[in-house]
Amino acid sequence: MNPDYPGEVILAVDTSLGTAVSLVDADGTLRSQASAVDPLGHAEVIGDLLARALVDAGEGPVDHVVSGMGPGPFTGLRIGIAAARAFALGRGIPVVPVPSHHAAALTAIEHDRIDGAFAIVTDARRREVAITVFAGMDADGIPAVVAETVLVPRVDADAHLDGIRRIDVDTLSAADLARVGARALAAGRTLADSEPLYLRQPDVTMPGAPKKVGL
Amino acid sequence: MTEPLVLGIETSCDETGIGIVRGRTLLSNTIASSMDEHSRYGGVVPEVAARAHLEALQPSIDAALAQAGVRLQDLDAVAVTSGPGLAGALMVGVGAAKGLAVALDKPLYAVNHLVGHIAADILTPDSAPLEYPTIALLVSGGHTSLLHVRDLTTDVEMLGETMDDAAGEAFDKVARLLSLPYPGGPEIDRAAASGAPNAIRFPRGLSRASDLAKHRYDFSFSGLKTAVARWVERCEADGVEVPVADVAASFREAVVDVLVTKALAACADRGVPRLLLGGGVIANRRLREVALSRAEAAGVTVRIPPLSLCTDNGAMIAALAAELIASGRRPSTLAFGADSTLPVTEIQVDERALVG
Ligand SMILES: [Zn+2]
């Protein structure tokens, strides 16, 4: 364990795909995790998953909240970010924003032993996918991004990747999200903006001239 | 129990409202509005509203706590709007409320937005307590509802609501027809100041005898909007300048007339000599004037909370929860969601089962 590491326990919350909550120690040891795979229903399950993960983790304070910032369907994604921020506010602890694809990348590297370049691919609705390309880990133990997250039409994804190993994910490990956050904290790095990774402008049509109703 | 200290979160439309009350005493009513961001689109854009809620929540909670002079740890409960409203907007508040309640290990009350509008009235210390039963007319950009309130925490009946546009939406759409900016309410009011309310006889929606049989207390504003559009087009076709002031005043009169007529009809039918007004459209001076004068003639007492409590706000949500707590209601479970069409009979959502 890094002696400079400022905190002890990290809570991670992510609703970019299903709903995932986990607590890990600063060295990455799993304390608890609770998740629901349903890509909808985040608002309904987030409270109970949080409560359960806290109980399962046992006594003791939480020092940081890692919030998965997407990409993901906006409505669901926001629920986890709102819950993470409000939890942090309630406990008076900081929020550490982490791109959600980093969790999937860490799982691929450390759990599935994927070598070399690979792409994390998630559904982005509207017949598009979100793609982030990684290659191994950097010196801080954080998955190394070689191509930032982009939205690509689902049918063009393979052509876009041009042979890069493709890993499609539909669930995420909040524990791995927490671990990425722990390593970012230990290294004093910021991996994401405080703004969610929307990647799309709000869907609005500018009003034109009023429609004719006819006389 | 001493008066409960409750923080309320309201995100059903375009206002991020955080309110803090101690029982019936208002400590803070903090509102962040995304209205400016919607103005270029001529109406509330749900995705824009939801994004704005997420960004506004934490600073609004901080500001409310500072104003109330309390700490989160001091709270007895957290309250949140579960519905009705825009689903994606509501979910931001629900997520935040759950995160906050779990972090603080405090009870959480999920409540009905419309009943919250009625609860706003109990935060007015200078007036006598709200008497029951009362008829309530709630008019905003998101809803137009007529309610029979027999008891704030247990017995609210929906008498009628809009079948199409909310009254506030009608103001926005007609403002656009008249090339006036968003939001339409104040603009129509300004334009109407020099116009004659009886210059043009615009239709009163669902007010014919044949409509009244089925929709005595329901509202419809889309026909009115179309009538205004026709009028404007005819002026243009005839090459005459649109008499904006007269159109605005006559349109506003049609809206106000139908709102007040139906509200007072409900008072008469139900034998309830009390009318409570709520919702942002109550800011419309003409609506208040007509309601007050016609109610007086009908022997009906009108109550209008301060405007800051009429528009969507978190204080009314906290106030409703404080009343629920005072009446012995248990908190909600953590399993509720956002319900964009939550019926008004569900004053509290997902009350915990009695254990033991
Ligand atoms: Zn409202």
pLDDT tens-digit readout, B41-99: 888 999 999 999 999 999 999 999 999 999 999 999 999 999 999 999 999 999 999 99
CA of B141 to the centre of ligand 1 (A): 8
A-B CB pairs within 8 A amount to 137
pLDDT at B107 over 50: yes
pLDDT at A213 over 80: no
User: ipTM of this model?
Assistant: 0.95
pLDDT at A1 over 60: no
Cβ of A90 within 8 Å of Cβ of B335? The answer is no
pLDDT tens-digit readout, A17-60: 999 999 999 999 999 999 999 989 999 999 999 999 999 999 88
User: Residue B230, SS3?
Assistant: helix
Residues of A in contact with B53 (CB under 8 A): 82
Cβ of B95 within 8 Å of Cβ of A198? The answer is no
**Cβ atoms B7, B78 nearer than 8 A:** yes
Of B48, B88, B233, the CB nearest to A75: B88
pLDDT tens-digit readout, A48-66: 999 999 999 998 899 999 9
Residues of A in contact with B337 (CB under 8 A): 41, 43-44
User: Residue B348, SS3?
Assistant: strand
Of A50, A86, A206, the CB nearest to B41: A206
Query: How confident is residue A8, by pLDDT bands cut at 50, 70 and 90?
Result: confident
Q: Average pLDDT, stretch B115-121?
A: 97
* The pLDDT of residue A2: 47
Q: What are phi and psi of A100, to 5 degrees?
A: -60, -35
pLDDT tens-digit readout, B218-238: 999 999 999 999 999 999 999
Contacts of B102 (CB under 8 A, 6+ apart): A47, A50, A51, A54, A87, A90, B334
Residues of A in contact with B332 (CB under 8 A): none
Query: How confident is residue A126, by pLDDT bands cut at 50, 70 and 90?
Result: very high
* The pLDDT of residue A210: 64
Measured distance CA(B203)–CA(A57) in Å, rounded: 64
The C-alpha of A150 sits at a distance from chain B's nearest C-alpha, in angstroms, of 20
Residues 18-77 of B with CB under 8 A from A: 40-42, 45, 47-48, 50-51, 53-55, 57-58, 61-62, 72
Give the chain A residue whose CA is nearest to the CA of B350: A44
Q: In chain A, what percentage of residues exceed pLDDT 90? A: 87
Give the chain B residue whose CA is nearest to the CA of A210: B177
pLDDT at A99 over 90: yes
pLDDT tens-digit readout, B177-201: 999 999 999 999 999 999 999 999 9
**Cβ atoms A177, A102 nearer than 8 A:** yes
Query: How confident is residue B124, by pLDDT bands cut at 50, 70 and 90?
Result: confident
